Chains A and B, each alone.
Chain A
Amino acid sequence: MKCKKVKRKLYAYIDNELTDTEKQFIFEHLNKCEDCKKGLDELLLQNQFLKKLEAIEPSVNFRAKFWQRVESVQEEKQGVKISLLRWVPVPVFCSVVVILFLTFLVLSPVLYGISDVETNRKISALAQRTFIVQLQQTGFAPLNFINFCEEYCRILHEHCQRKTGSTKCICGRCEI
């Protein structure tokens, strides 16, 4: 039992990492026990041999490259965790905003109680032209969306002018 304890602490004894009492205890034991003495001699020999070997200098970025490789292997294993996927909720949220905006525009005559038949007809015709029937001015979709918004504004202005009964517009757009 004693020998097992001593053998476990032999490395620390060689490296001078033990307290004085521990050192004294092991020193006394080594003088008595032939087996442990032999073990110490073997360790000293091993140490001498290792010291003779030349130290290998790692390349400059060895550590960084090593951890980078470890991370890339881990990422490959995890598979789905890609940075791009983290951004997917952003366009999804944006599309919800755009859809809500479009729905609001199409439903605005009802929501705002615009009773003018002419305006309602124009707005529904515009919505049909843009979203249902393919009668757009250009084939480039974003431009048609922009045209839809511009046209919608124009219809509202016309309605505004009719409502006030004068050519002077209250909203400020016509003054520009």
Chain B
Amino acid sequence: MSALSGESSRVNLRGWSARSVAGIVMALFVLFFVIPIVWLLLAVTKSAKSLIVSNPFSAGSWSDLVANWHQLFAFQDGAVTTWIGNSAVYALGALVITLVVGVPAGYALALTEFKGRRALLVLTLVVMLIPSTALVLPIFLELNSIGLIGSPLSVILPMSFFPFGVYLTYIYFSTSIPRDLLAAARIDGCTEFQVFSRIALPLAAPIVALVAFFSFVQNWNNFFLPFVMLPSSDGYPVQVGLTSLLAATPAFNPSSAGSDSVQLPTLALATIVSILPVLFVFLFSQRFLVAGMTAGGTKE
């Protein structure tokens, strides 16, 4: 059975022409997805002038990269460093709360019985489908009334409410964990908490990683919530900070030409720097993520 499962579930594309068409389509999409990224990586190694006059896919120089780097981190006396630190605090703080709160909740919704279970399940789905920005302004007013606006908690707490993560764990626990296994553990004398921590949680490691991944990426990239909650530049996460950089780029905002202005390659560098942590997580977790996505089919 397992010897077969790798290859034979794949559908054969027969025929030379069908394969070429399929190959061309896939290759075109590779170009579509990759060209902007390759260009971006090259753009940061150029001066503002050579970015415009040289071939888009030529490499610049190390010295230009260093110069861009210095210009970026000198912007508003090192504001970029502050923003990145803020992003880390917000994203990681919310991630920890999300996991601690969400994974047990998904487990309970899938495999235990309690009053209001179905109501909470429906509520989870409904809130998951609500455009989160529809709640941003009301949450703003709610937190405003208890004086949390501008505090890190005003973004961490709302971000740590992650019904999508609960839904994912719920689906996983209810479809991929055999109930008989849990029943056997109970017969063997496990308490309910041990059933969760020793049996279900280890089996769910791939989905926990998946939730952690989605949560971190979403938190790091969140724009609207911090945009509304944090009035002061000191509290910006880097995503919101990018708007300050954009506003200081004469190429896109002619009125900003001045001493603290930002050149195009520097703005490109800011774009890369702003996503570096997420990029690392992507590169680092690729194998793990795919394993998580397909775990249900391979655990036998």
Are A and B part of the same complex? no
Residues on B lying within 8 angstroms of A by beta carbon are none
Which A residues contact B (CB, under 8 angstroms)?
A: none
